[in-house]
């Protein structure tokens, strides 16, 4: 599961602008809010390429940062944030 920066920030209990500021301070994002080191951090962050057709301007392209599931605890550690407790899911095999 991947999250955009807004959902990752919500999960970490901060706002998207605050997350971006913290990630830029640590050198994790560049000025376009894309991973500064996409190869080094590929286990945690990725660039999502998007495209759409605009009736007057033609094909439009965009890029955005996605945080992978393994990237959430890594990001919290990098930024000095507390990870929220994830409730344990009961194992369905444990039956009477």
Q: With 0-12 CB in 10 A as exposed, 13-18 as middle and 19+ as buried, what is 11? A: middle
User: How many structural domains comprise the chain?
Assistant: 1
Domain that holds residue 16: 2-79
Q: Given a cut of 90, is residue 95 above it in pLDDT? A: no
Terminal-residue alpha carbon distance, the chain: 32
Residue 42 lies in a domain: yes
Residue 27 lies in a domain: yes
Residue 44 lies in a domain: yes
The Cα 56–Cα 54 span in angstroms is: 6
Instruction: List the single range of 14-23, 34-43, 77-86 with lowest mean pLDDT.
Output: 77-86
| 35 DSSP 8-state letter | B
Find where tokens 């997350």 sit. Answer: 19
Residue 68 lies in a domain: yes
Residue 35 lies in a domain: yes
What tokens does 10 get? 């919500």
At 39-88, the pLDDT tens digits run 999 999 999 999 999 999 999 999 999 999 999 999 999 999 987 766 66
């Amino acid at each position: 599961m991947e999250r955009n920066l807004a959902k990752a920030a919500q999960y970490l209990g901060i706002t998207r602008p605050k997350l971006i500021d913290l990630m830029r301070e640590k050198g994790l994002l560049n000025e376009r809010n894309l991973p500064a080191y996409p190869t080094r951090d590929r286990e945690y962050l990725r660039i999502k390429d998007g495209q759409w057709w605009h009736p007057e301007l033609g094909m439009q392209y965009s890029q955005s940062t996605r945080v992978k599931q393994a990237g959430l605890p890594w990001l919290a550690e990098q930024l000095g944030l507390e990870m929220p407790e994830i409730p344990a899911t009961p194992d369905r095999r444990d039956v009477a």
